[in-house]
Structure 1
Amino acid sequence: DSRPRTFLIGCIGVSGKTKWDVLDGVVRRLFKEYIIHVDPVSQLGLNSDSVLGYSIGEIKRTNSAETPELLPCGYLVGENNTISVTIKGICENSLDCLVFESLIPKPILQRYISLLMEHRRIILSGPSGTGKTYLANRLSEYMVLREGRELADGIIATFNVDHKSSKELRQYLSNLADQCNSENNAVDMPLVIILDNLHHVSSLGEIFNGLLNCKYHKCPYIIGTMNQATSSTPNLQLHHNFRWVLCANHTEPVKGFLGRFLRRKLIETEISGRMRNAELVKIIDWIPKVWQHLNKFLEAHSSSDVTIGPRLFLSCPIDVDGSRVWFTDLWNYSIIPYLLEAVREGLQLYGRRAPWEDPAKWVMDTYPWAATPQHHEWPPLLQLRPEDVGFDGYSLSREGSTSKQVPVSDAEGDPLMNMLMRLQEAANYSSPQSYDSDSNSNSHHDDILDSSLESTL
């Protein structure tokens, strides 16, 4: 849906004496306060100048508009009690509206658009659930509108890649190259092509070879998404002019997205209900910390490839009891089964790399929901014990005799010894059953998360 979304940003009082210039200032100040609440770190790169104007009923108020006949209160009558604020967008040659809707900071979005303008081909790479497909769709819509075209059917083509469709994709891109090179431009080509889930393709270079001889500026923009970078990354960049955009959980725009998204939901709830709940504020502040805590645990015992994207937490209900039920279900039926599988695999692939600490301990120590008389009725949060993942087994050699263990403090102080120990463990325990590629491993993890998530939500 390409229509602009509407968001509640605040409440203001308009008296019978409020003048237009006063209201102009109040609206802009309210917008600025709103973005400070949503993004305390960088305000998304927006400010009060991002506001193009506002409307009350049929009156549209901009900097250049003449002062209406009546005072503002004369137009706020009956059920007409809403002021609609408009943010600068395509018509003003501005990214501000897209920044505001997508919650992606302006400098980052500017870089993505610049890469697309210059190279016409980008691949968004990162773990599952980091918003790559959403970003691909929003960038596509922006490029279409920027070229002065309408978002009509066929202007953006989306190809969902799976294990079986490599041949069809190669054929599709080859036909596209023929159309680009054809003198007959009567054939309606898409302006942007989205290639979703390119990690399912075994040889990316081979897939894109058909585009090598394509007339470059007649070729559509191409935006691909994939779960991790592959060995063909340099080749694609060199021969096919693709530019890589990393969507990692530990860097922006993904890192701060969950907090911004939940704070925006919280503000809407507070404005609609005309009340602020301190416990709810605490919960919404805590959820992104849990997400980061889990990803640190996964990186310690496996790798960043299997970290969890913010998508899993976006459905958090904005009410105290509802969020507790939601989190308990999510933890017990989605997160713990996923951690179990990911850490088992991480131990097989990398050996034992960090001391064990139950991920549930920090969660229970910082638990934001207040105890109630019925607290004992809530199901407890499941814990993850080292024996659940076979953690202690990785300090033993295959023969069952104890391998030489360096005390943790010594090992940490001696990087070379630490590396040798890891190599020794990896050699001892590289099992034929372990996954032979990250892409298999990732898709397996995604299946666990997605299936358990479906049952939860």
Structure 2
Amino acid sequence: LWFGQLEIEKLKSENDRLKLESQGSRTGSQASISASPPPHTQSQSAGPTAGLSQHSLNLTTSESTSLGETHGLALIHCSTSTHLAKNGSFNLLQEYITHVDPVSQLGLTTDSVQGYNIGEIHRPSSSSTASTPELLPCGYLVGDNTINIQLKGASSENVDSLVFDTLIPKPMLQRYVSLLREHRRVILSGPSGTGKTYLANQLARHLLLLEGRPLTPNAVVTFNVDHKSSKELRQYLSGLAQQCNSVSGEDSPLVVILDNLHHVSSLGEIFNGLFNCNYQHCPYIIGTMSQATSSAPNLQLHHNFRWVLCANHTEPVKGFLGRYLRRKLIEMEIGSRTRNAELVKIMDWVPRVWHHLNHFLETHSSSDVTIGPRLFLSCPMDVEGSRVWFTDLWNYSIIPYMLEAVREGLQLYGRRAAWEDPAAWVIDSYPWSSTPPPGDWPPLLQLRPEDVGFDGYSAPREGIRKEPPQSDSDADPLVMDKVLNYNNSHHDDILDSSLESTL
């Protein structure tokens, strides 16, 4: 998202030509803006060039400026017009989104832009409704050299800013919001680590903005069902129902999040008589569960709940890890003004490893025990750090978890396919070009058939049923670190604060 050396030289030549052609003129030239990464080099930076002013592009939402991060760098000529600066900035936005999601661009286009700021001057995205500014862009960028772009959000009944924040494609988020606004009750169902709680909180915040409610402590309430009885949940919901019926709409909760509902055996009975049409202020209810229960049909038929599947093999979860790591890599490249071809290869490889492992788990167990993307979100953005991180993750988290999951799968389903060590593909496709001496680097552990009793289960055993995990952490590979007293602090990379809650 900055300029390679060749492009800098081209811009310099163009700048010299424009100086000769337009001395003393206010005629604008096209903004020199690009989102294309520089050539793959170990370390290549692009500093300011004589005669060219350098400005950064920030992307923010229409509701908040908390996303004030530099997402691209632009070189704007001193005679560039406002119209061309706007078009160049919008093109940079589109290229940035294309790098994050090459497949669908998250469903975002330049039509997703609500407006933009050049310095302290705000401009709407539609030029037809905007008056011509007195100065050229360079006149407003003195001191504050930032062009901010605001995406459409809840204030205009759109989800574009939410799409940019969550990295969930626009058509899917539009469907989730539509289901909530029509039915007011949604359950997010999927394996542990797929971001259900994070999505629930993001949807709750969006509903607050749609309803014009401030984000107060009582506006969104959460009840975590872990280690709590059905009676406690029923009492909690009864108290909320009475509160919603007795206080004004602004004082009652707008959204109720019920986390880990799979721990409750009879959900239909829990909701009987609660939050029905007799209540004046019925809140939105967003539930999460790791797998569907026997109460699912009853909830949909009698209590108007709608289901949203958050499975590792379907969007939005399937492509999330790739989008997240690409965004993380791009922003690191912008900050350092460098690009490393080996690191690009590594960040492309990590999501493939994740899909490879889940295919293996589905083959020898079931989709219920597949691994969510959150396990891989902390991948460091440097070559050596990512190698150490992956080695430790593989040996201390992934292999112990797969050992237990495949062993239970064989007991329940028997042997259904030929054995193939999951480490074989990982070793064959290993992306790190240089490895330290064997004494300094522990090799990747392998999963042998005798480790899981593969030869002992040629047919399904009768009468064996796999019980669901008692909590999200029971089925979560991250817990294996604690079991093995593994300290991960030396490579604890900083996650996006907006996505940290998924862990």
Preserved contact between residue 261 and residue 288 of structure 2 (Cα < 8 Å):
yes
Paired with 1:33 and 1:364, the residues of 2 have a C-alpha distance of 34
Show CA shifts across 1:306-338 (max 9, x none). 000000001111111111111111111110010
1:381-433 deviation line (CA, Å, top 9, x unaligned):
111101111111113xxxxxxxxxxxxxxxxxxxxxxxxxx4xx323xx55xx
Residues 327-338 of structure 1 correspond to what in structure 2 (within 5 A)?
A: 327-338=390-401
Alignment of 1:15-54 (within 5 A): 15-54=77-116
CA deviation map 1:22-65 (0-9, x unaligned) = 10110111111111111111111110111222223311122333
1:200 deviation in Å? 1.4
- Contact in 1 for aligned 2:276/2:282 (Cα 8 Å): no
- Residue 443 of structure 2 corresponds to 380
> What is the percentage of aligned positions where both structures have the same residue?
69
Q: Distance in 2 between matches of 1:133 and 1:442?
A: 11
Q: Which residue identity is paired with 2:223? A: F
Task: State the match for 1:400 in structure 2.
Answer: none
- AA aligned opposite 1:261: Y
Which residue among 116, 128, 134 is the counterpart of 1:69? 134
Deviates more, 1:374-383 or 1:329-338: 374-383
The residue that corresponds to 1:426 in the other structure is 461
Runs of 4+ in structure 1 over 6 Å off: none
SS at match of 2:223: strand
> Deviation of residue 369 (structure 1)?
0.5
| 1:196–1:45 Cα change, 3 Å | same
The change in CA–CA distance for 1:369 and 1:212 in structure 2 (over 3 A counts) is same
Matches within 5 A, 1:192-341: 192-211=255-274, 213-215=276-278, 218-341=281-404
Please say if residues 178 and 214 of structure 1, whose CA atoms lie closer than 8 Å, have aligned partners that are also in contact.
no
- Distance change >3 Å, CA 103–CA 338, structure 1 → 2: same
Of 17-26 and 54-63, the range deviating more from structure 2: 54-63
Once the two structures are TM-superposed, the CA of residue 109 in structure 1 deviates from its matched residue by 0.4
Equivalent position SS for 2:70: coil
Query: Secondary structure in 2 aligned to 1:337?
Result: helix
Specify whether residues 356 and 186 from structure 1 end up closer, same or farther in structure 2 by C-alpha distance, changes over 3 A only.
closer
1:81 Cα offset (Å)? 2.5
1:84 Cα offset (Å): 1.6
Opposite residue 221 of structure 2, the aligned amino acid is A
2:161 is the counterpart of 1:132:
no
Q: Indicate the larger mover: 62-71 or 115-124.
A: 62-71
Paired with 1:234 and 1:322, the residues of 2 have a C-alpha distance of 47
Structure 2 vs 1, CA of residues 275 and 362 (structure 1 numbering), >3 Å: closer, same or farther? same
Output aligned runs, 1:341-352, within 5 Å. Answer: 341-352=404-415
Tell me whether 1:445 sits opposite 2:475 in the alignment. Answer: yes
SS of alignment partner, residue 308 of structure 1: coil
* Cα deviation code 1:147-204 (max 9, x no counterpart): 111111210011111233432210121233334455x648921000000111111221
- Give the direction of change, closer, same or farther, for the CA distance of 1:196–1:60 in structure 2 (3 Å limit): same
Structure 2 unaligned residues grouped into runs of 5+: 1-62, 493-503
What is the alpha-carbon distance in structure 2 between the residues aligned to residue 441 and residue 15 of structure 1? 58
Q: Which amino acid aligns with 1:69?
A: E
Structure 1 residues 445 and 153, CA, compared in 2 at 3 Å: closer, same or farther?
Answer: closer
Judge conservation of contact 1:170–1:210 (CA < 8 Å) in 2.
Answer: no
Instruction: Show the counterpart of 2:55.
Output: none
SS of 1:255's partner is coil
User: Structure 1's 39 and 186: CA in aligned 2 closer, same or farther, altered over 3 A?
Assistant: closer
Q: TM-score, normalised by structure 1?
A: 0.87
- What amino acid maps onto 1:444 in structure 2? D
Q: Which residue of 2 aligns with 1:406?
A: none
Question: Structure 1: how far apart are the matches of 2:199 and 2:337?
Answer: 33
> What is the CA–CA distance in structure 2 between the aligned matches of 1:82 and 1:145, rounded to whole Å?
27
Structure 2 CA distance for partners of 1:359 and 1:199, relative to 1, 3 Å? same
Deviation at 1:209, TM superposition (A): 1.6
SS in 2 for 1:9: strand
- What is the CA distance between 1:82 and its match in structure 2? 2.2
Q: How many aligned residue pairs are there?
A: 421
The 1:236/1:216 distance shift into structure 2, 3 A limit, reads farther
Quick check: 1:163–1:201 contact (8 Å CA) kept in 2?
A: no
Give the Cα–Cα distance (whole angstroms) in 2 for the partners of residues 455 and 113 of structure 1. 40
Q: Distance in 2 between matches of 1:2 and 1:168?
A: 37
Q: Secondary structure at the residue paired with 2:187?
A: strand
1:373–1:382 Cα change, 3 Å: closer
The letter for the 2-side match of 1:243 is R
Q: Aligned partners of 1:5 and 1:372: how far apart in 2?
A: 38
After TM superposition, give the deviation of residue 76 of structure 1 in Å: 2.6
Distance (Å, rounded) in 1 between the aligned partners of 2:68 and 2:250: 37
Q: How does 1:341-420 map to 2 (within 5 A)?
A: 341-372=404-435, 374=437, 377-395=440-458
1:94–1:375 CA distance, 2 compared to 1 (3 A): farther
Structure 1 residues 166-185: aligned runs within 5 Å: 166-182=230-246, 185=248
- State the secondary structure of the residue aligned to 1:99: helix
Contact persistence 2:400–2:480 (CA under 8 A):
no
Structure 1 residues 356-402: Cα deviation after superposition (integer angstroms, max 9, x where no partner): 1111000000000002464662211111101111111113xxxxxxx
**Structure 1 CA distance, aligned partners of 2:403 and 2:152?**
47
**Alpha carbons of structure 1 residues 212 and 274: separation in structure 2 relative to 1, 3 Å:** closer
Q: Secondary structure at the match of 2:73?
A: coil
Partners of 1:293 and 1:87 in 2: CA distance: 36
Distance (whole Å) between structure 2 residues aligned to residue 187 and residue 179 of structure 1: 12
Structure-2 residue corresponding to 1:150 = 214
Alpha carbons 1:51, 1:85 under 8 Å: kept: yes
Q: Distance in 2 between matches of 1:148 and 1:311?
A: 32
1:404 matched residue in structure 2: none
Deviations along 1:282-313, one digit per CA (max 9) or x if unpaired, are 00100000000000000011110000000000
- Deviations 1:434-455, CA, capped at 9 Å, x for gaps: 64x2344976322x53342774
**Residue type of the alignment partner of 1:116:** L
